[in-house]
Structure formats: C-alpha cells, structure tokens
Amino acid sequence: MKLAVTATPSEARFAAILLRGAIAETFALASQYGYDGIEVHLRDPHDVDWEEIVELSQRYSLPVTTLGTGMAAGMDGLTFTDANSEVRMRAVGRMKEHIKLAARLGSAVTIGVLNGNLGNDVDQAAQARKHHFACLQECCHAAADVGVPLLLEPLNRYECDWLNTTEDALAVIEQLGAANLKYLADTYHMTIEEVDIAASIHRAGDSLGYVHLVDSNRCGPGQGHLAFREVLNALIDVNYDGFLSFECLPRPDVDSILKNSLCYVKELLAEFATRGI
Ligand code: LER
Ligand code: MN
C-alpha cells in the first residue's frame, strides 16, 4: 500500500486538507516528506493550470490519486440531491470537468459532500434519492467513457443525512452497477458509523477503491484511539493495494502529522511486511 497526502491550492473551508498554497509548493512538500501520491482538492478544475499539474506530477514522480470535489458543495452549494434541477445540472457539469482533468492526470474523482442531503420530508427524500441516482449515473457514464474511476464516500451523520455507512455506499454501488464506481472508506467517518471497521472493510472487498486514513478524532494516524493495526490487517486481508491518503486536521501542526503520522503508518506496514503478512 502506498501513502498519499491531501492538498489544495483553493481557499478551502474544509479543514482536513493538510497541504495548502501554490500547487507547486504542495507537490514539493509531499515529495520532501516521502509520500507516494497526492490527493488534490479543487473547488473548480478551471481554477488551476492542468498542464502545470501534469508537469509537477511527472517531475516529482507523484501521481495525483484522486480529485476531491467537496468544495463544489461547500462553497458553491452544488449537490446531486438538490430539489432545483438547475443546481443538479451544474453539479453534474462541475463533476464532468473534474472527470476531464482526472482523465488527463490518470486520477480518480471523489464524490462525498457532493452527494448532498435528503431532508426530513419523506416524499421529498424519495425524490432526492432519484435525483441522486440520475446524477451519479450520468457521471459514471461520462467517467467510464474516459477510463476514470469514481469514488463514492459515505460521510458521518453530522455531515450527511443518508449516505453514512459502508453498507449505504455498497447499496448505491450495487444498484448503479457501474464497474468504475468504487467505495471510498474514510476511517474517521467509519469510527462514528460502523459497528466493526475491520468487518466493514471485509464486507466491501473488491468494491473498495480508496482509503482516507485518519484517526478517531480526525487527527493524523496514531493521534487518536483508532486501532490501526486492525484496519491495516483488514486491508491486507482484502488485498487492497491502493493508496492510504492522509486527510486529517493539522493538529498539533501540519509538520508533525506529515512526519510523525507518516512514520507511524510506515512502521506498522513494515512490521506487517517483516511478519510476512
Ligand atoms: C468530508 O468529511 C470528507 O471526508 C471528504 O473526504 C469529502 O470530500
Ligand atoms: Mn474523507
């Protein structure tokens, strides 16, 4: 398994993005600390120079793992469940631009906050689910056309009112039946929603496409009470060989997460390797 770190050149309000600032600086830092990949969060793909990212990715041998899209929801109010068809159309349009950039970079695209909420009214909620399905289906087709995987990320109940668990995500993935739609497991959301994180990883199996590796308090791995040995063991059991991406709060500070949590996870992985696991 390889390790990635979250970065953004945008004015992100989402606090769990570790590297912020000019895109060239974030690549330099990710490389300097020894990460294997970089997860780039963008409000709008046209906020950045696509060829600059391609060049940086090659120069530092750092693949862009996935494009985070949550800012389109957080800052521009775009979601797949919005009752207003024009807003949904803009959400899908924004996703399609992310998909084009992902195709250029060879990365995936994440759909998390963009999934939206259903609300309390039963009829409206049923309608919102249909809207979500139609939007997601359109994005899956557009992504499949250019060979881009999409990563569906359930969020904890305080951030989303319906798509919270591994089971919720797998139900949507199964219903949609698109080979390029995978499950993104975020271990912070999982500590709040799952009964047994290792069992959920086993349940996801081949549907697992990506991991946000973060502790119970949303700090870096090793800074909270999540049993990382069990999590990593389960990932090894299901033959997950993708990226573990550090999407954590910069507490106590970015530097200590980049160094200490990275060392902590590398040591755990080395321990598994020496035991032949
Ligand atoms: C939001 O809580 C989150 O975990 C992000 O990965 C969503 O884009
Ligand atoms: Mn996440």
Q: Is 20 exposed, middle or buried (0-12, 13-18, 19+ CB in 10 A)?
A: middle
Question: What is the rounded CA–CA span in Å between residue 267 and residue 276?
Answer: 14
- pLDDT tens digits for the chain (277 residues)? 999 999 999 988 778 999 999 999 999 999 999 999 999 999 999 999 999 999 999 999 999 999 999 999 999 999 999 999 999 999 999 999 999 999 999 999 999 999 999 999 999 999 999 999 999 999 999 999 999 999 999 999 999 999 999 999 999 999 999 999 999 999 999 999 999 999 999 999 999 999 999 999 999 999 999 999 999 999 999 999 999 999 999 999 999 999 999 999 999 999 988 877 7
Dist. CA 275 → ligand 2 center (Å): 30
pLDDT of residue 12: 80
Nearest CA to ligand 1 atom 6: 112
Q: So where are the chain's domains?
A: 2-274
pLDDT digits (tens, 9 = 90+) for 105-164: 999 999 999 999 999 999 999 999 999 999 999 999 999 999 999 999 999 999 999 999
Q: What is the DSSP letter of 218?
A: S
Q: Which CATH number does the domain 2-274 belong to among 2.60.120.10, 3.50.50.60, 3.20.20.150, 3.40.50.720?
A: 3.20.20.150
Tokens for 185, please give them.
Answer: 């497991």
Q: Is the dihedral of CA 118, 132, 39, 189 positive or negative?
A: positive
What pLDDT score was predicted for residue 255?
A: 93
Ramachandran region, residue 34 (left: φ > 0; alpha: ψ -120 to 50; beta: rest) = left
| Residue 25 known to be catalytic | no
What is the model's pLDDT at position 14?
Answer: 77
Neighbours of ion ligand 2 (CB under 5 A): 186, 212, 247
41 Cβ below 6 A of ligand 1: no
Under 8 Å between Cβ of 203 and 163: no
3-state secondary structure of 163: coil
Pocket test for ligand 1, best of 79, 114, 155, 156 (most atoms within 8 A of CB): 155
Ligand 2 midpoint to CA 203 (Å)? 19
Predicted TM-score (pTM) of the model is 0.97
